[in-house]
Amino acid sequence: MSYNTPAATTTTWGVIQVGANLSITADGILSANVGSSGSGNSTIGTWTPTLTTNGSGTIGITVKNARYSKTGQQVNCMFDIQVSSISGGDDRDAVLLGGLPVTSITGNGYVGGVDINYFTNLATVNYFVSGSVKSNGTTAPLWSSPVITDAKTLNSLLSYGQVALNQGDIQTNSELSGTITYLSAT
């Protein structure tokens, strides 16, 4: 990534100087302001993922790592979370990854993708798990391609290719790790 900003200069040993249009916060987050109204701004930071359902269930998680970068409207997130508890709800309730750090653009259908490149300890056997960022929001429904064990699952996969990752597909100690890419509203 490069920015057209004036270079930093210093002649004092042990002093680090940040170039024009760049700043570092007290907790070490680097920001660049090189454009107007969000078109060139850059931020790097942490975010707080959540797992929720479209029902009444509650899913507790431990966040091992969650960071993001935003350059202009492009948002890239990474996460590593582990389920610590599940209560209430129904096994058929769809699971959503939430807490995205910036609201997504408004568009038709989904406006970004979730690539879960590592998952373990799921209650069901899956070929892969992914997700889609919702328009004008901070959540992403999660999808799976389960190993086919019955005719109902086979019919769902033949019709749709993937099915919703449901509350019954995860369990305590399930771990999900991956990346998210989408465009922000600002």
Tens digit of each residue's pLDDT (9 = 90 or more) over 144-178? 987 766 666 556 555 556 789 999 999 999 999 99
Same domain for 20 and 71? no
Which range has the worst mean pLDDT, 5-14, 39-48, 107-116? 5-14
Asked, for residue 65, whether it belongs to a domain, the answer is: yes
Same domain for 49 and 28? no
First-residue to last-residue Cα distance in the chain? 20
Task: Please determine, for residue 28, whether its predicted confidence score (pLDDT) is greater than 50.
Answer: yes
Asked, for residue 68, whether it belongs to a domain, the answer is: yes
Same domain for 123 and 174? yes
Same domain for 19 and 87? no
Rounded Cα distance, 161 and 143, in Å: 10
Task: Please determine, for residue 121, whether its predicted confidence score (pLDDT) is greater than 90.
Answer: yes
Task: Please determine, for residue 10, whether its predicted confidence score (pLDDT) is greater than 80.
Answer: no
Same domain for 174 and 136? yes
- The answer to whether 115 touches 130, Cβ cutoff 8 Å, is yes
Tens digit of each residue's pLDDT (9 = 90 or more) over 50-103? 999 999 999 999 999 999 999 999 999 999 999 999 999 999 999 999 999 999
Q: Identify the helix (H) or strand (E) that includes residue 156.
A: helix 151-160
- Residue with the bigger pLDDT between 173 and 38: it is 173
* DSSP-assigned letters across all residues of 93-132: SBEEEE--SSPBPP-SSEEEEEEEEEEES-SS-EEEEEEE
Q: Which domain holds residue 143?
A: 45-183
Same domain for 106 and 87? yes
Rounded Cα distance, 117 and 115, in Å: 6
Rounded Cα distance, 84 and 135, in Å: 29
Strands 95-98 and 163-164: unpaired
Asked, for residue 40, whether it belongs to a domain, the answer is: no
Tens digit of each residue's pLDDT (9 = 90 or more) over 106-120? 999 899 999 999 999
Return the structure tokens found at 33: 């302001």
**Mean pLDDT value of segment 34-49:** 73
Same domain for 113 and 153? yes
Is the Cα torsion angle 163, 134, 107, 32 positive or negative in sign? negative
**Mean pLDDT value of segment 6-29:** 65
Same domain for 55 and 134? yes
> In the prediction, which pLDDT does 154 show?
58
Asked, for residue 39, whether it belongs to a domain, the answer is: no
- The answer to whether 27 touches 46, Cβ cutoff 8 Å, is no
- The answer to whether 132 touches 178, Cβ cutoff 8 Å, is no
Same domain for 102 and 148? yes
- Residue with the bigger pLDDT between 186 and 28: it is 186
